[in-house]
Amino acid sequence: MVFRDRAGNVGCLELHCPHRGTSLEYGRVEEDGLRCCYHSWKFAADGKCVDMPCETPKFREKMDVCQPGYPTHEFGGLIFVYMGPPAEMPLFPMYDIYDTRYRGDVVLRGMRLWEDHAIGFVRDCNWLQHYENVVDAYHLLILHAANSGDQFGSVVTTSGWPELTFEETDLGVRYNMLRDLPNGNFLERHAEVVLPNIALIPSIHEQGVDAKEEFRATEVSWAVPVDNEHLYGISIVAWPKDKNGEPLEGWKPGIDTVTEIRLGNLRNRPYEEKQRYPDDMEAQESQRPIAVHALENLGTSDRGIVLLRRALKKAVEAVAAGKDPANIVRDEADNHAIKTHAWNTVRLPDIPSEAAE
């Protein structure tokens, strides 16, 4: 149960009141805490019970009740909750995309770009089969182009077969796409997963016209498990500023998947249409609510998925052994503009100069 009191303090408390078990979601927010609707016990943001109107102050002090809770961290328009051992709480990692201490060209916005869904409007399946999709580069060419028609209208899904490879990074796993474009330009594209559940995807709307070098992802997105069979996505968007320092009006986030030519965000599409023109929603959710890995037959094109699964298994084993998993930052000196590895680069063909001619 997450709440903000009227003084601006954020608390994350166990849902049920320790008095008689009433849910605190029905509580009343006050200046210095949250008051249970049933018998008005009030809890501060840190969980301390500070008032029991039906009891004497002496009894309240003797009871010394403290509601279980978790530390919170507010950043970029989102609230993060740490749910591990208190003594081992790491720093909040400051990646280059949203570290505004080193870039003043953006305004950070915490957003749910896909309503109560994740990227591609996927919702009703296990978080991992959705997360793996980020490094499944071949599905871009098949699902979003050859099978359902070009769903992006960009050079990501243009004609021709690119060169695709997969590799581990110091943060996780990424795919590498190299392709010659119909207009004579060249695209170098990388999408990265940062363990355990961050997706970094450069713009899917890239048209490949103007030259650019390492134009990074504009969103840091989390695949958030709701339970074993449902998820949603949430992002910090690095929204560019206009000349007056205000968020640029009319700009579109790089992985805003709603386009005029892509209808996959409509959950209530006719079933026949979904069969003819499936999108991420249909492809991932139909793997079963929880994909059964033992029934899969992976190929060489699935190398990105294999690398990700191995990395996650290694992280789980590290935690089980009492060690830190990947991407835990504890030294403040290292926690600045941590370099990510997801971007679009567009190169124009070399044009000989008059002197060279």
Res. 353: pLDDT tops 60: no
Confidence of residue 258 (pLDDT cuts 50, 70, 90): confident
Count of Cβ atoms closer than 10 Å to residue 237 Cβ: 26
Q: What is the 3-state secondary structure (H, E, C) of 73-120?
A: EEECCEEEECCCCHHHCCCCCCECCCCCCCCCCEEEEEECCCCCCEHH
Cβ 132 vs Cβ 172: under 8 Å: no
pTM (two decimals)? 0.93
In Å, how far from its chain's centre is CA 310? Answer: 20
Cβ 125 vs Cβ 110: under 8 Å: no
Res. 328: pLDDT tops 60: yes
Give Cα separations from 278 to 23, 255, 298 (angstroms).
40, 19, 22
- Measured distance CA(180)–CA(324) in Å, rounded: 42
Domain ranges for the chain, please list them: 2-70, 92-347
Alpha carbon distance, N-terminus to C-terminus of the chain: 70
According to the model, what pLDDT value does residue 259 have? Answer: 77
Cβ 108 vs Cβ 126: under 8 Å: no
pLDDT over 70 for what percent of the chain?
Answer: 98
According to the model, what pLDDT value does residue 175 have? Answer: 98
The structure tokens listed for 319 are 């935690």
163: DSSP letter: E
Which is it for the CA torsion 248, 253, 257, 262, positive or negative? positive
Query: What average pLDDT does range 224-234 have in this prediction?
Result: 97
Question: Which one of 3.40.1350, 3.90.380, 3.30.565, 3.10.310 gives the CATH number of domain 92-347?
Answer: 3.90.380
The structure tokens listed for 253 are 């986030």
Q: For the chain, how many helices (H) and strands (E)? A: 6, 18
Res. 172: pLDDT tops 50: yes
**Residue 346 backbone dihedrals phi, psi, to 5 degrees:** -120, 120
Cβ 314 vs Cβ 157: under 8 Å: no
Find the helix or strand (DSSP H, E) in which 52 lies.
none
The structure tokens listed for 248 are 């640029």
Q: Which fold has domain 2-70?
A: Rieske Iron-sulfur Protein (2.102.10)
- 10 Å CB burial of residue 10 (0-12, 13-18, 19+) is middle
Q: Do domains 2-70 and 92-347 have the same CATH topology?
A: no
- Measured distance CA(348)–CA(354) in Å, rounded: 18
According to the model, what pLDDT value does residue 271 have? Answer: 94
Query: What average pLDDT does range 243-271 have in this prediction?
Result: 88
246: DSSP letter: S
Find the helix or strand (DSSP H, E) in which 182 lies.
none
**Among the listed residues 100, 50, 126, the one whose alpha carbon sits nearest the alpha carbon of residue 288:** 126
